[in-house]
Amino acid sequence: MIDIDNLSKSFGPRTLWSDVSLTIGRGEMLALVGPSGSGKSTLLNCLGLLDKPSAGAIRHEGKDLITLNQRGIRRFRRDVLGYLFQNYALIENATVAANLDIAVRPRRSVPRGGRVTIAEALDRVGLAGREKEKIHHLSGGEQQRVALARLMVKQPALVLADEPTGALDQVNATMVVDVLGEMSAAGCAVVIATHNDYVRDRCDTIFAVKEPSLAGNSSWRTA
């Protein structure tokens, strides 16, 4: 699905991480872990083409994403990628339904098994019947659930989630991880940057992001 080869990221004289190599397969849920400041979010942003690494390659089905032009980047984000941001990335003065409808329109094909409707996605995240409410009327936890429902409607092949449970209570955090697990079981590759031990332990694979001055980056599979 995604092959990362000798990726490095520097800011001026400081190297955030270097020689990062791993493969993320279809149906795999991978946790990016490491101390604050180790660059988990930056690595996630590089995978999502929101930031550019200093060296190395990111390949999707053999094509190096770093070499894509702006049109290719837009196509990759539209057709392949789904992102669960810390700040939800919702249109605050629009309705819940309008925010989810954005995820429907760009898709040109329906994945195997059919499309998840807006009503079905909202029911799954506990927001059934809330389609007409404005985003700015919702709590932070409810907005995160809308963002999760948007992913379900879009049905991307790759999900990048940046601390998706950071502002949630345990019940909602469990629901978010459950839904991401269901998407992974359906064949989606899911990458989660997290400090949460529960989220980490629910993933299939763990990748520890470490500073270059420490031991090298490493990955391992959960039991």
CB crowding 132-148: b at 16 or more within 10 Å, else e:
eeebeebeebbbbbbbb
> CB-based contacts of 86: which residues, under 8 Å, 6+ apart?
162, 163, 164, 166, 167
pLDDT in tens, 165-215: 887 888 889 999 999 999 999 999 999 999 999 999 999 999 998 766 555
Q: Which domains are delineated in the chain?
A: 2-221 (3.40.50.300)
Predicted TM-score of the model (pTM) = 0.88
pLDDT at position 223 over 50: no
pLDDT bucket at 141, cuts 50 / 70 / 90: confident
- Give the containing element (helix H, strand E) for 78: helix 70-79
- Give the containing element (helix H, strand E) for 19: strand 14-24
> CB-based contacts of 26: which residues, under 8 Å, 6+ apart?
1, 157, 187, 188, 189
Which tokens belong to 106? 């760009």
pLDDT in tens, 73-130: 999 999 999 999 878 889 999 999 999 998 875 555 545 456 789 999 999 999 999 9
